[in-house]
Amino acid sequence: MKKGDIVELEIVKYAFEGRGIAKVSAENIRSDIPKDETPISNYIVFVDGTYPGDIVKAELKKIKKSYAEANSVEIISPSEFRTKARCKYFGECGGCKQQDLNYSSQVEFKQQQVEEIFKKMGGFDDFSIEEIIPSDKIFFYRNKMEFSFSDKRWLTQEELKSTKIVEKDFALGLHVPQVYDKVLDIEECFLQSELSNKILNITRDFFRGKNILPYSTKTQSGFLRNLVIKSAHHTDDLMVNIVTFSEDEKLINSFKEILIQQVPQITTIVNNINRKRSSVATGDYENIILGSGFIFDLIGNYKFRISANSFFQTNTLQAEKLYQTALEFAELQGDEIVYDLYSGAGTISIFVSERAKEVYAFESVESAVIDAEENKEINNTLNVHFFTADLYKSFLPLVEEKNLHLPDVVILDPPRSGMHTNTINDIIKLSPKKVVYVSCNPTTQVRDIKLFTNSGYKLIKIKPVDMFPHTYHIENVALMIRE
């Protein structure tokens, strides 16, 4: 068989990042591979869009020495784990990858995937794996949705077959996977709220009705870039952030009037102006059109201010469970010095502050540190101290300059790319008794933990937390103790 061939496969396992695995005879895929080089039992095919128990027809896309990649083109016999996707855009939209997989199976597979990453990739065996924390809400759980405007609308299979005329040069919705310049125009999404869907459709109708053009990165012309909606779960606050290429005060004020007339629940409206060519939903500056420009929400007993461009955990209800897990792993007694690295707007620092003597928080992004200082003042957490630090070079000079107490516990929550080796080496030099590592990417987490365990630390336990139902993303908390 060769690239482009259609083959029948039985899916026997689920791989990280949402692909089914089929095992096949190596000689059936590549006749030029000697059997002694590629054992039959080891040759696998990764098949997008499939689950264990599926029998499918799949098109081979890539053939390598020890594996192949394929796309499912027909489900001959569906897996018992499958369910009907709720969203009509599922399969074409880039938001959800597993909405056709029942939720109990989603969390079970995520647990297995994290365990496999730590055991096979990391080589760890002498550690405890605690049961995953599922999400109580599997729809309408997000507090933020970022929609994109585009002058290139992605046409669905249904639209391509239809004889109706479809407007192709205006879309407001979500990006299609692996297609950076086209946007799927959507009318509803089940990730945030019914109210956000209403705002989405009002926004589309308003600007399309006035023939206002989306911004084009190719021609560097047009006005509309993004619609970002942020909602609070524990308060009634609701923010609309319209991101544009330039200012138009009259137009934006007209938009505001329509919005608040039809959605009076909106508490603040912000207009971010982004003149950069890159497609990012943050502006060079912002104009506050209505309200304070902020919303407020709670995690545990603490209140946090959220600006248009500040980071806040996207699933508020699960964030509390994530932070509580980190706090339980740290086992703080009240007399410890805690370092919080990649502290963002200070959510973890403040959340653990009641159980620590002092918390020193380090963050590379200066605007996040400003947000953190505001949150410290709101919560009156006087034992938390925030610092802007370069977490790619070394933060030890800052520790020495400020004459900070050395840490008993270090809590880490880096981006998906993980930690820089310089930062890992800094922590090892500081020699804390415990390191609690919160990660949104178990693969890079394992890579980093191996460096710690090669330098005197032992992995004690891990616990996954499902923050994003219907996606393959998974958060994981790990505890290491200095031997």
Coil vs helix vs strand at 24? coil
CATH 2.40.50.140 fits 6-82, yes or no: yes
Amino acid 447: pLDDT: 97
Q: In residues, how long is the chain?
A: 483
38 phi and psi angles, rounded to 5 deg: -125, 95
**Helix H or strand E encompassing 437:** strand 434-439
**Helix H or strand E encompassing 226:** strand 224-231
CB 172, CB 147: distance < 8 Å:
yes
Amino acid 27: pLDDT: 55
What is the four-CA torsion angle of 360, 364, 365, 371, rounded to 10 degrees? 0
Fold for the domain defined by 108-137+315-482 = Rossmann fold (3.40.50)
The token pair that represents 45 in the structure block: 């095919």
Amino acid 92: pLDDT: 87
Concatenated DSSP letters for 406-429?
A: PPSEEEE---TT---HHHHHHHHH
Distance of alpha carbon 273 from alpha carbon 276, whole angstroms: 9
Distance of alpha carbon 294 from alpha carbon 9, whole angstroms: 52
Distance of alpha carbon 426 from alpha carbon 396, whole angstroms: 6
Amino acid 345: pLDDT: 92
Q: Which CATH class is domain 144-299?
A: mainly beta
**CATH 2.40.50.140 residue ranges for the chain:** 6-82
Cα 99–chain centre separation: 16
Amino acid 163: pLDDT: 66
The token pair that represents 350 in the structure block: 């403040």
Distance of alpha carbon 177 from alpha carbon 435, whole angstroms: 36
**CATH 2.40.50.1070 residue ranges for the chain:** 144-299
Nearest to 437 by CA among 472, 388, 395, 475: 475
Q: What pTM did the predictor assign?
A: 0.90
User: Directed axis angle between helix 421-430 and helix 442-453, to 10°?
Assistant: 40
Residue-wise pLDDT for 274-327, tens only, equals 998 877 888 889 999 999 999 999 999 999 999 998 888 999 999 999 999 999
Amino acid 396: pLDDT: 95
Coil vs helix vs strand at 160? helix
CB 90, CB 101: distance < 8 Å:
no
Concatenated DSSP letters for 366-392?
A: HHHHHHHHHHHHHHT-TTEEEEE--SS
CB 176, CB 92: distance < 8 Å:
yes
CB neighbours (10 Å) of residue 410? 24
> Which residues of the chain fall short of a pLDDT of 50?
31-33, 35-40
440 is catalytic: yes
The token pair that represents 98 in the structure block: 């597993």
Amino acid 335: pLDDT: 97
Nearest to 414 by CA among 440, 447, 375: 440
Beta bridge partners of 44: 23, 67
